[in-house]
Amino acid sequence: MTLGAVVLTMGNRPAELRALLDSVAAQVGPRVEVVVVGNGAPLPELPDGIRTVELPENLGIPAGRNVGIEAFGPNGQEVDALLFLDDDGLLPRTDTAALIREAFAADPGLGIITFRIADPDTGVTQRRHVPRLRASDPMRSSRVTTFLGGANAVRTAVIAEVGGLPGEFFYAHEETDLAWRALDAGWSIDYRSDMVLHHPTTEPSRHAVYHRMVARNRVWLARRNLPWLLVPAYLSTWIVLTLVRRPPRQALAAWFGGFWEGWRTPCGARRPMRWRTVWRLTRLGRPPII
């Protein structure tokens, strides 16, 4: 199985980017081909053999990663699977690529693998980085219903069948949109605790657009993918959860502004999942109302 890797960067972390690329190059087995996409920024000096794309403007995370996919041919068809890695991450093990090949080879229905993200200093995995509701044990691998955007591997056959990431999302929930489409097409998603990406502990709210994008894209996600009967249940649940978390007033105002923006603006093509997919998500422990 041939592997490629897509790394998106703003060009502001050259040392971390170089360390990540070195960790990819250190993987045992066949070479992992890498493309680095400069998202609206010039790229720093990179090792020989790295493919590069410099975009004149910041297209956002999903659209930028889609450009990286196409650097491997239409739908990434030059390789069998693509790793998507954060530019400030690091693969601490040299057998991660081998584990990915083994996992995909052992299960032809496995479409996406999501890695365990751990802090490089403490080894701690944040709850939000375990993509299931029962997140207390990050060392337990399992089937899941979504994946982590900067620490995963996706079969290019999935992308060819259901399409890439939703570029219009710019930031937030693009992984769940792709995950739901993949699950509806019959693919499976695994969380693997033994496939590790080291990444400094951060809070998503560090991004200025976080609260608005999270709310807007949550509405878009529902409008694009859920049967209409489930849309109010899903969005009502998230309104309640947001209020319970008691964000600062300014953040809450941005959240509700994004929520209404999600209703007023186009969300892209609507392809509601089948009810059997709803049941499948429910059996996996995460019905699509939360």
**How far are the Cα atoms of 92, 113, 201 from residue 121, in angstroms, in the given order?**
12, 24, 9
- From the list 35, 89, 24, 42, the residue with the least C-alpha distance to 65 is 35
Contact 16, 91 (CB under 8 A): no
- CA-CA-CA-CA dihedral for 219, 172, 154, 285, to nearest 10: -60
Q: Which residues contact 165 (CB under 8 A, 6 or more apart)?
A: 61, 62, 63, 65, 66, 174, 175, 177, 178
Identify the H or E element spanning 151: strand 151-155
Q: So what's the pLDDT on residue 114?
A: 98
Q: Is 280 left (phi over 0), alpha (psi -120 to 50) or beta?
A: alpha
- From the list 216, 244, 219, the residue with the least C-alpha distance to 231 is 219
Three-state secondary structure call for residue 104: helix
End-to-end CA distance of the chain: 35
Q: What is the DSSP letter of 90?
A: B
Q: What is the DSSP letter of 288?
A: T
**How far are the Cα atoms of 49, 101, 103 from residue 106, in angstroms, in the given order?**
30, 9, 5
| CB burial string 91-127: b at 16+ within 10 A, e below | bebeebbebbbebbeeeeebbbbbbbbbeeeeeebee
- From the list 123, 142, 121, 120, the residue with the least C-alpha distance to 131 is 142
Sign of CA dihedral 21, 188, 70, 213: negative
Q: So what's the pLDDT on residue 205?
A: 62
Contact 36, 51 (CB under 8 A): yes
Ranges for all domains in the chain classified under CATH 3.90.550.10: 3-202
**Full 3-state SS string of 194-207:** EEEEECCCCCHHHC
50, two tokens: 């790295």
Q: So what's the pLDDT on residue 62?
A: 98
The whole-angstrom separation of Cα 250 and Cα 122 is: 32
Q: So what's the pLDDT on residue 119?
A: 96
Q: So what's the pLDDT on residue 135?
A: 93
The whole-angstrom separation of Cα 196 and Cα 93 is: 7
* CATH for 3-202, options being 3.40.50.620, 1.10.3210.10, 3.90.550.10, 3.30.70.20: 3.90.550.10
Can you give the pTM of this predicted structure? 0.96
74, two tokens: 């239409």
pLDDT beneath 70: ranges in the chain: 205-208
